[in-house]
Amino acid sequence: MAKINQSLGEFIIENQGEFKYSSGELSRLINSIRLAAKVVNHKVNKAGLVDILGTAGNSNVQGEDQQKLDVFANEVFINTLTNREIVCGIASEEEDDFITIKGRNEKNDNKYVVLMDPLDGSSNIDVNVSVGTIFSIFRRITPSGTPVTIDDFLQPGVNQVAAGYIVYGTSTMIVYTTGHGVNGFTLNPSIGTYYLSHPNMKFPEDGHIYSVNEGNYVHFPQGVKDYIKYCQKEEDDRPYTSRYIGSLVSDFHRNMIKGGIYIYPSTSKDPKGKLRLLYECNPMAMIAEQAGGKASNGFQRILEIQPTTLHQRVPFFSGNTNMVEKAEEFMSNAK
Ligand SMILES: O=P(O)(O)OC[C@H]1O[C@](O)(COP(=O)(O)O)[C@@H](O)[C@@H]1O
Ligand SMILES: [Mg+2]
Ligand SMILES: [Mg+2]
């Protein structure tokens, strides 16, 4: 764990946990994400003081108004990943198509692709509520030395070599997995280092929080309506507590610490759901499973869904295994 080096008065952070299992290149890639997160964190913390609030005046491929912080975070992560010479391609919520990175020697021989939601929880930016960043990392599947193709990005979530999120909250944390458990690091902004504050994160045995935007209740599928009524019924360990922050990263992170289920179902407004499979649901699903939880679309394991398009949306149920399975039961019974 951390050791205090009296002469430097600094924490010497031993990168335990994640680096034991990841290759040098993957470690360097994750380090570049940690660096970019520090830059975004610096801006998020000043959002009210510098001109970073409000909309950027254009919309993204999703048809959503891009917030200035969406655009800023997108640029920081793309520039950092490009300059670090480790990725051969990047896909982002804020980019219509994927970006090909040739590499310094123009040989297209970098090994990894990154898919990301550079700023998650955009509706919370202007109201000073926590937001996040989500990332997903795959090894390319097309031949090295050739430009990446869409196939490198449309891989099922089970192929991810790493996945994680940053939550810019009361503290800034980066939480990620390389397939051998989940580790959480808290940023010490005064010296710019990350401290392994949450080693080997696991969902608690049980959860008593359900997190869903109940304002959409009338538009929910019957199975979700039935599950919400189940959560609210006075019986056994219920009623559960309802908590909804409105940023996936924050709602998911709270559930990992306290136990709970997060649901963004299909609605009549968003028949496929709102969350994107490739750079929101897949990475969060890998973390959920690595932390002993579960993630599905209400019927099928998220990580086994074969993607068809870069920005496709899926319904998303994730959290404590027993809670997700109970919700799936209501979904199946309502079919
Ligand atoms: O406001 P709604 O419809 O409840 O949606 C909230 C969800 O939308 C999101 O903000 C979508 O993510 P982006 O902000 O990255 O577009 C999630 O973070 C959040 O869980
Ligand atoms: Mg998002
Ligand atoms: Mg976003």
| Residue 213 marked ligand-binding | yes
Residue 37 corresponds to which tokens in the numbers above?
């997160």
Ligand nearest to the CA of 93: 3
Phi–psi pair at 317, nearest 5 degrees: -125, 120
Give this prediction's pTM: 0.93
pLDDT of residue 17: 42
Residues with CB under 6 A from ligand 1: 93, 117, 120-123, 213, 246-248, 274
pLDDT of residue 318: 98
CA distances 96 to 55, 63, 93, 149, 309, Å, are: 18, 11, 8, 14, 11
Protein residue closest via CA to atom 9 of ligand 1: 121
Which alpha helices (H) appear in the chain, and where do they start and end? 18-21, 24-44, 68-83, 222-232, 248-258, 282-290, 321-333
pLDDT of residue 243: 98
CA of 276 to the centre of ligand 2 (A): 8
CA of 274 to the centre of ligand 2 (A): 9
Nearest CA among 68, 37, 83, 305 for reference residue 184:
37
Enumerate the domain spans of the chain.
Answer: 3-198, 209-333
- Quick: pLDDT tens for 138-155: 999 999 989 999 999 999
Rg (C-alpha) for the chain, rounded Å, is 20
| Residue 269 marked ligand-binding | no
Ligand nearest to the CA of 122: 1
- The rounded distance, in Å, linking the Cα atoms of 94 and 100 is 15
Is the domain spanning 3-198 CATH 3.30.540.10? The answer is yes
- Quick: pLDDT tens for 215-273: 999 999 999 999 999 999 999 999 999 999 999 999 999 999 999 999 999 998 889 99
Low-confidence ranges of the chain (pLDDT < 50): 1-21
- Fold entry, domain 209-333: D-Maltodextrin-Binding Protein; domain 2 (3.40.190)
CA of 279 to the centre of ligand 1 (A): 13
What DSSP assignment string belongs to 203-272? --S---EEE--GGGGGGS-HHHHHHHHHHHS-STT-SPEE---S-HHHHHHHHHHH--EEEE---SSSTT
Which of 68, 122, 267, 284 is the pocket-test mutation for ligand 1 (most atoms within 8 Å of CB)? 122
Contact status, residue 116 vs residue 279, Cβ threshold 8 Å? yes
Residues in contact with 208: Cβ distance below 8 Å, sequence separation at least 6, in sequence order: 237, 238, 240, 241, 259, 260
